[in-house]
Structure 1
Amino acid sequence: MFSLRLVSTLLLFFSQDQRVTPYSFEKCEVHEVLGNRTKVLCYNRNLKNVPSHLPGKVDALDLSNNKIRSLWRTDFRNLGHLQVLNISQNKIEHIEGGAFIHTSYLEFLNLTANRLTLLSSSMFDGLTNLTVLMLGNNQILKIEPYAFAHLEKLKVIDLSSNRLYTMNAMLAVFKVESLQELHIKDNDLQNFSTKQIISVPEQLRELDASHNPISLIDVTTSVLQSLSSLDLSFSIPNISIIWLIQDPCFLKGLKTLFLGGIAMKPPAISEVIQMINCTWLEAIHLNQLHLTETDGLIEQVCLRHGNVETLNLQHNLFTSVNEGAFENCTHLRYLNMAFNKLKVLPMTLFQSLHSLKLLSLANNKFTMVPNATSNMASLECLDLSFNKIYRILPDDFAHLNNLKSLYATGNRISRVHSNIFGDLHSLQELNLEINLLTEIDEPFPGSLKNLETLILRQNKLDSIKKDVFKNLTSLLVLNLADNQIAAIEPGAFEGLSNLQSLVLGSNKITKDTFQEGLFQGLSSLVELDLFNNYISYKSSKMLANPPFKLLKSLNKFNINSQRHNGLENFPVNFLEGLQSIVQIHAGNLAISFLDPKTFKYTPTLEELDLSDNSLNNVSNMLFWPVPNLRELHLNKNGLNSLSFVSHGNLSKLTLFRGAENQIDVITKEQIRALPALGFLDLRENTFACSCSNEMFLNWSLKDPKTQVLHFYQYICASPSTQKGQKLWTFETSSCIIDYGFILYITNTSAAILLMLICFIYQWRLHMIYSYHLLLAYFIDKREKRKERVMGYAYDAFLSYNTHNEEWVINDLLPVLENQYHWKLCLHHRDFEPGRSILENIVNNIYMSRKTICIISRHYLESEWCSKEIQVASFRLFDENKDVLILIFLEDIPSEYLSPYHRMRKLIRKKTYLKWPQDEKEVALFWQKLDMAMKTGEGKEEEHPILPRFASDEVP
């Protein structure tokens, strides 16, 4: 039907991938779809009026589900390019004449579910290109004679569920010469009489008058002789229905007749079928009529309309069908007998149906495949879903050589033998989901060489054996979701060289399932779904055999979980081999850490979803290997900053979602790092209404390129005086500096300031050092009191810069923790969430017996590393204990150590270690470090850690 095609096109238009356009509005979102067409979405925003200042080049506007009561001439005056307008589910009761005078390009107008009572003659003026007009579910009582007079291209009108009680009330509709479809169902029509219709458009082909309490159907004129589809289903009057058809040829063009659910007995329906004898009906719908095999209605239909191609008998009370019932329906192509009570059928029932393509016997009570379905050479689709079939025999599908689709969903099949598919050489789709299959103990046969889709989801399979799919060389989709699969033998997918989609979600797959060669043979696999499984690892270390290294063509990977307990540790090379990947969905897995090298194996990645994890600290280098990333979803991760984007190589990112985190400030550097950003969603974060967000606030309101989605709903979390207020209401004028006053102060004190600046410049590094030393002194006094009553929680606190994290993780930790069994304290692993960084540093240094400082140039430049070594060295000097171990990863010139003169002095007196460049000396290095760790373990007086080596001297 025309309307279905158009609606499908419109749905596609509203659901295309979104791209940025240079507009942003308070309660709307602007998107761009294919062909540079712009759509504006303002649905469900509590709007009471059509928003003003909408972009002039809007092609589609969605204002549905709001509270708009009236439409005025000025509402759409700037929308001259508008083609689609959805303003359904509002409270519109008045439309000013000429409201659409400026929207001459409009093709689709949806006013469904409003409160209109009158369609005036000027209401739709200007809509010269309108094709579809949806007015259903209003309160329309009257249509003025010329309401549609200027709608020269109107093809579809939907007036369903209104109050147009008579055909006379619709005379204006029948004047639309271009009309092809008319829907007037549920209007409380009691008479359907052609006498009340003066004329009908010649192009009118479909008339839907269903769900009306029609008691009289009077066809006494020829105005409907061009009608091809008439729907009178579910006509349920207070009294019996009377049919008056003066001349059968008054409906000579009728091809499709809907009588489902009509309040008529089978004999009366039979009489109507016989009355309509001047036309060759192609489709007859007799569903939901309480029909049984004793009514003989099937025989009557086939006898009177032997050319019928579609017969819908679903939702009746058939327990069987009389033998020979379809004998005269030799042209039948589509037969639907679903939702009956069929248990058995005569074996020869369908023998005369040589043209039958589709047969649906779903939702009946068969316990075996009926013999009547065999030997149907023309059949292409057989639906046996939701019966009680528990077994399939070898002859059940005999001679169905042209069968392309077989549905046996929702039965009780526990075992499938390969010989039952012997004659299904043309089968393309096989659906056995929601059964009781426990195993597939033999390979699917070679006769299924054309099978493209195999659905086995929601069974009881616990394992997949080798070679079971080897003969399915044309298979494109394999769905094994919702089983209990824990074991998959290597080679199970051999032969599936053309498979594009493999669904293994909601099973019991663990890391042990990923045996080497598991995905062997899947060279064409494009999509892999592993959602809701039990895959977990004890650490993020490299895997010896990455599970997906053979999937070179994989485009989409889904490992989401609904349990929030999945892949907590993400091995650094878990994604190795996915060189063509575009989308990764890994939400709700409780991931707390991702190694900076995690995505170096996925350089083609464009869309990444890590929402609902525990990634409150994201490495600056994590996204550096994925320069093509366009969508990033980090909702619900506990993020307190977007600092990682500043160094993330995200120059092509167009959509970023970081809703429901703890982000308080967005900086200029972070925005500049996302030059292609089109959409930013930061709803439900803890924004600070302060001058630190002045730039973000102004940018969100004025930037012509990026839309900050739902920005006007952002709430202030701090300071307390602003808590609960809208961020956009923060008055940034308070952040403006009084430059006149500052200039006055500057001029009067310029000389003093200059002297201070010179002094501070000369001694700045020493002052910084003194500040940290003084801070450490007060902290030390506090911590010494704690130490008297508390023991040590760790053997050593590790102080290092993130640039040296790889050496720490891959070299230091394995030796000290695994080989020598020392318990170490690391920032990302052992710091207490919720505490400040400085407080965590101090507490953990004093909870550790020693502090190991990994010294490098980056270390000396780090503010936090500086704080750590100050606290540790102060503890050393104050307690006079050997609690500090220094490891130099590189040669440090003396000028680099000059600001740290106390540390330099310490190095000359105490032992330090240097990471050797010669691999032969590495073992000695670890021995020396272990001896250093052992020093001071007992209560005896501590001794020097190691004798100093000449090679370890600092110049």
Structure 2
Amino acid sequence: MKNLLCSCLLLIILYDVHASQCEVRDIRYISRNVCKLCRCASDESNTLAVDCKMRHLSCVLFRISSKVTSLDLSKNNITILKNDSFTGLSNLRNLDLSYNRIDFIEIGTFWPLKALENLWLVETNLGLLQAALRQGLFRGLLNLRCVKLQGTINEGLANLSRLPDETFSDLLGLEELTIDGTFGLRFGPGFENLTNFKTLTMSGWIGHCNIGRLDSETFIYVPYLQHIKITKCQLSHIASDAFKSLTNLNTLDLSENVGLGFDNFGRSFEALKHTSITVLDVTSIVSPYGKGTILSLDDVQHLHETKLEEVYLDRNALESIEDGVLSKFPPTLRKLYFRENRLLFTLFMYEIFKLDNLLIFDAGNQQHITSSNTRRRTQKQVRVEYSDKPKPGCKTSMDLKYAQNKRNDTTSRRISPKIYVVWTDLHNNNLQIHVEKNPSYLNVLVKDSNVTTQNLSYFFQKPDTTISNQNKDVIQRRKQSAIKNNATNLKSNLSVTTPSLKMALTTFICSGSESNFVFLNFSGVDNNIRYIDISGNFIPVLNNSSFAGLSKVEFLTLSNNHIVNLEPLTFVPLHSLIYLDLSNNNLGNSYKETAWNSFESLHSLQTIDISGNSISHLPQHTFQSMRYLQALDAKFNDLNDFDVNLENSALLRTLDLSNNRLPYLKTNIMHYLDHLAKDCSISLDLTGNNLLCTCKTLPFLRWLRTTNVTLINKSQYFCSLENGSIRYINESTLVNLLESSCKSYTIFYISGAIGGTFALSFSIFFLVYRNRWKLRYLYYMTKLKLPKTPAANTEDVYANTGFVSYDENDIRFVKNCMIPELEVNRGHKLVIKDRDFLPGEVLASTILKAIRESRKTISLISRESLQNKWWTFELHMAQIESIYMNRNVLILIFIEDIPVQDLPVYVLDLLQFVTCIKFHFVKQTESAFWNELHEYMIER
């Protein structure tokens, strides 16, 4: 018993002594069982990992099992590491001492750790490296592969600190070193024998890094380095031969050194040709918020001689890339990044197709931050339109019409006029040029070439015109003729070369520029593009050739592009498309109802996003062909109803209709969603809609309570009662209340009211329909505030001799026959809508004004015009003008032989009261026809 009491007393004394050496707050320290203090984890090999992070320890636990292979002592209060701190830990491989206040390490501290592989000393207080890391500290640690010493230098002594290479000379197995960067850093002779030293990291994000410069002697003793990362280290100068000795260099990261700049760094490319570098990261070597920069040929003149595969040029305030720069990149390049710059996607884009092995081109999220924080300057867009359909008896001509549109925008920078070159047919080397700026700049832009405005017209894209099949060959021959005469000069002045017919490119991202985007036509090109993101630009219209040749594209993002219209065949080339993002555009304001027909070709589509488009109505057939559709996002629109055909979309799983104006869902939609919910989970979001609680919507309200469809945010659904009050749909008494109030005891009164309303509506409709043209005439006349009685002096009123009413297919007759004969030869002043009407004016009002201000209205009758609603409108307005103002206005001219039985009734009625003549396409009778028409036009 006496021996037992002595043993207990000895244990208590030992415990008190140890507790006095190591202060432990909140948790009691048990010296013989560390796992009662720290978290321990063992594996199948009977090894132990101990986590003593954040245990408020002031010294190292030294009585730990030898089976421990990993020890984490980070984020404690340790200040000193003594020689016996790690005694017995012969199997320890990982030791983390980061985020402690260590200011002294005894020489023999790490000697027992013969198996140590990873040592972390991040964010400690070691101060001067040469004083803290004394020679012999790492003696015997032949297995140590990774050392991290970031944040160890005292800021006040940073300029006095140097890297003690003699201390690291013992680490023959060192592979990775992470250290602070001191000014004028040198890796001395002590590193010469570290043949395994492959990775060096210095970063100002953690710890201290102020290198300033890299000299020719910086890396002379570490030729085995393969990966160098020097980020945010205030690097401002690199000697031209700084990397010459690094023949094994594979990865170089110099990002976030904003003082370096392209001019300085470009000189070091010559030395990189002696290395094996494949990855180069020079992100933010220019301040992204400072003055805009230009990537010039001088900056990359030696780049072609390297073996680079990945280049990162993000966040460098790049506003322009000089012609030929991308051609200087090596043929081995596979990934090229220009993210978060200020680029406009212009002429330089075509050069990426010279890089045969390029897989990823990412110029996403361009910011356009200028030093003066202003927007881009005013740009004028020139649209060149032509029509070449010949009419019998008239010479074929090519007329140009320029429509200039201004955008009120200001900036302090001046942007010079640009020519955008687009490959329309890469296989046949046919060019198409889109010009921004005033037409007077054309000859200046093509410099000394003999290309004229007339010749250039053959290259222009006509934005909203579909050329008939019978004339495609004619137009193609003209284009080829123009190209043959001018291709040499164009290639010489614009440095255009034929791109490769085979491309490796898989990812193409050009987003956020908010500028006019130039589409590239890939017809005839073997490409592997799978991912395209051209969001955040200015693409108001997508036409039938926008995605030509892109049959392998699977992901397409077109959000935030101001898209107003889609031509019917826009997406036809995209056979493999499975994801389409059209969010935040203006599709709801489309001026063509056929825009929604473009979705009919998307047979493989799985996800479509049309949110934020101000859409008020979706045609029933919009998604009918999407058999694999899984997710439909139509939130943040103005949908008043959702009556689309989803019967073919058996895989639909997500339907987002939130934040619209839906009062309820139609019965067919509810039934179909229930049908899908029988076999799988399907979610529906109706949050933020104008749901109604009325007798009409009772079936919908019952469905919300009983359906198996997952209703997202159902608890937030509310509806409006007829008295204007708001109720949450989840209220248990709501449906019962509506059912009782909707029982109909007044069906006969309602039937009578409906009958009376129908009779009254029919009477009003009959009167309005009978006088519809007169009402329209009075409406537009009042809107224009025109006089309702003829003026006494008609010469002052009629500013024009005649207003010509015609179908667009008869424009040849007007331009090549009427204008020369009546305006040029006989001095009449005609109003031609394609020539004299200004863009942006209300067409109906402009037509009525032209009729009122013209002595005569000359209406050309052809088979096409009889089908034209605007020609019919003009004819009726002129007829009402004749009756209402009591003057002879109309002159009808037949320019085609049309049997009487094919003429509409309203035309036959007019033939009895108005002047009618017929044009014969015979030269002998043409003069007599024009003389007769002249007499009718001057008749009062």
Q: Give TM-score scaled by structure 1 length.
A: 0.56
DSSP 3-state at the match of 2:686: helix
Counterpart of 2:786, as a letter, is: R
Distance 1:354 1:729, change over 3 A: same
Cα offsets for 1:615-638 (capped at 9, x unmatched): 445455554565554433332333
Aligned partner (choices 190, 212, 236) of residue 57 of structure 2:
190
User: What residue is the counterpart of 1:716 in the other structure?
Assistant: 690
Tell me which of 654, 662, 679 is aligned to 2:606.
654
Q: Deviations over 1:647-681 (max 9, x none)?
A: 64234232222222322344543343544322211
Map of 1:355 onto structure 2: 224
The equivalent residue for 2:237 is 367
The DSSP-based 3-state class of the residue aligned with 1:669 is: coil
1:780 equivalent to 2:637? Answer no
Q: Does 1:229 align with 2:94?
A: yes
Which SS does the other structure have where 2:622 is aligned? helix
Cα distance, 1:511 vs. partner? 8.3
Distance in 2 of aligned mates of 1:502 and 1:268: 48
Name which of structure 1's ranges 553-562 and 668-677 shifts more when overlaid on structure 2. Answer: 553-562
Work out whether residues 187 and 221 of structure 2, in 8 Å CA contact, stay in contact via their aligned partners in 1: no
Per the alignment, residue 516 of structure 2 pairs with 566
Q: How far did residue 901 of structure 1 move?
A: 1.7
What's the secondary structure of 2:92's corresponding residue? coil
Match of 1:252 among 102, 106, 114: 114
1:255 to partner: Cα distance = 0.5
Once the two structures are superposed, the pairs formed by residues 717-736 of structure 1 within 5 Å of their partners are: none
**In structure 1, what is the equivalent of residue 676 of structure 2?**
704
Q: In 1, are the aligned partners of 2:859 and 2:893 still within 8 Å (CA)?
A: yes
Does the aligned pair in 2 maintain the 1:476–1:498 contact within 8 Å?
yes
The DSSP-based 3-state class of the residue aligned with 2:137 is helix
Given residue 689 of structure 2, which amino acid in structure 1 is its aligned partner?
Answer: I
Equivalent position of 1:636 in the other structure:
584
CA distance in 2, matches of 1:190, 1:935: 112
**C-alpha distance in structure 2 between counterparts of 1:254 and 1:296, whole Å:** 25
Structure 2: distance between partners of 1:687 and 1:665: 6
**Aligned AA (1:788):** L
Distance in structure 2 (CA, Å) of the matches to 1:535 and 1:578 = 33
**Shift in alpha-carbon separation, 1:901–1:348, aligned structure 2, 3 A:** closer
How far is 1:369 from its partner?
Answer: 1.3
Which amino acid letter does the alignment assign opposite residue 776 of structure 2?
Answer: I
| Distance across 2 between alignment mates of 1:732 and 1:809 | 63
Deviation track 1:463-504 (CA, whole Å, cap 9, x = no partner) reads 746699479444445667858899979997897544555678
Measured on the aligned residues, the alpha-carbon RMSD in Å equals 6.8
1:534-553 equivalences under 5 Å are 540=463, 553=502
Deviation at 1:449, TM superposition (A): 6.4
Alignment partner, residue 177 of structure 2: 311
Instruction: Please list every run of 5 or more consecutive structure 2 residues that lacks an aligned counterpart in the other structure.
Output: 1-24, 287-292, 369-413, 440-459, 466-478, 488-495, 641-660, 693-718, 789-796, 824-829
Unpaired segments ≥5 residues, structure 1: 1-161, 390-408, 524-529, 758-763, 833-839, 943-955
Q: Does 1:694 align with 2:666?
A: yes
Instruction: Tell me the equivalent position of 2:77.
Output: 213
Could you tell me which of 313, 324, 327 is aligned with 2:189?
Answer: 324
Contact 1:855 1:886 in 2 (8 A): yes
Report the alpha carbon displacement of residue 870 of structure 1 after superposing the two structures with TM.
5.6
2:449 aligned residue: none
Tell me, in whole angstroms, the C-alpha distance in 2 between the residues paired with 1:269 and 1:744.
101
Q: 1:7 maps to what in 2? A: none
1:343–1:365 Cα contact (<8 Å) kept: yes
Change (3 A) 1:294 1:904: same
Counterpart in 1 of 2:907? 903
Name the counterpart of 1:263. 125
Give 1:229 deviation, angstroms. 2.0
Structure 1 position 612, deviation (Å): 3.0
Deviations 1:502-539 (A, max 9, x none): 6788799988444588999999xxxxxx9xx9999996
Inter-partner Cα distance in structure 2 for 1:173 and 1:318: 42
Whether the aligned pair in 1 keeps the contact of 2:118 and 2:145 (CA below 8 Å) is yes
- Matches of 1:229 and 1:915, distance apart in 2: 99
Structure of higher CA gyration radius: 2
CA contact (8 A) 1:226 1:253 kept: yes
| CA–CA separation in structure 2 for the residues paired with 1:809 and 1:732 | 63
Number of positions where the alignment pairs a residue of Structure 1 with one of Structure 2: 712
Matches within 5 A, 1:160-175: 168=35, 173-174=40-41
Shift of 1:283: 1.6
The partner residue of 1:298 within 140, 160, 164 is: 164
Task: State the shift of 1:230 in Å.
Answer: 1.7
Counterparts in 2 of 1:321 and 1:262: CA distance versus 1, 3 Å: same
Partner of 2:631: 679
1:259 Cα offset (Å): 0.8
Q: Whole-Å Cα distance in 2 between the matches of residues 856 and 605 of structure 1?
A: 45
Question: Which letter maps to 2:690?
Answer: C
Superposed counterparts of 1:382-461, under 5 Å: 410=261, 412-413=263-264, 416=267, 420=270, 424=274, 426-429=276-279, 434=285, 439-440=296-297, 444=301, 448=305, 450-453=307-310, 458=316
CA–CA distance in 1 between the matches of 2:552 and 2:187?
62
Cα 1:889–1:713, aligned 2, differ >3 Å: closer, same or farther? Answer: farther
Identity %: 17
- Picking from 122, 134, 148, the partner of 1:285 is 148
Deviation at 1:824, TM superposition (A): 2.4
How far is 1:231 from its partner?
A: 1.7
Moved more, 487-496 or 696-705: 487-496
8 Å Cα contact 1:589/1:613 also seen in 2:
yes
The residue number in structure 2 matching 1:664 is: 616
SS in 2 for 1:637: coil
Offset at 1:782? 3.4
Q: Partner letter of residue 781 of structure 1?
A: L
**Cα displacement string for residues 818-859 of structure 1 (whole angstroms, at most 9, x for unaligned residues):** 999955279x99567xxxxxxx66534423438898989898
Summarize the Cα distance change of 1:909–1:768 in structure 2 as closer, same or farther, 3 Å threshold: farther
In the TM superposition, residue 258 of structure 1 has moved relative to its aligned partner by 0.7
Q: Deviations over 1:105-150 (max 9, x none)?
A: xxxxxxxxxxxxxxxxxxxxxxxxxxxxxxxxxxxxxxxxxxxxxx
Alignment partner of 2:601: what SS?
coil
CA–CA distance in structure 1, aligned partners of residues 200 and 799 of structure 2: 76
In structure 1, distance between residues paired with 2:138 and 2:676 = 67
Q: Secondary structure at the match of 1:777?
A: helix
Three-state SS of the structure 1 residue aligned to 2:41 is: helix
Q: Which residue number in structure 2 is paired with residue 824 of structure 1?
A: 833
Equivalent AA in structure 2 for residue 778 of structure 1: L
> Hey, which of these two has a bigger chunk of helix by percent?
2
TM-score (norm 2): 0.56
Q: Which residue of 2 aligns with 1:843?
A: 845
Deviation at 1:256, TM superposition (A): 0.9
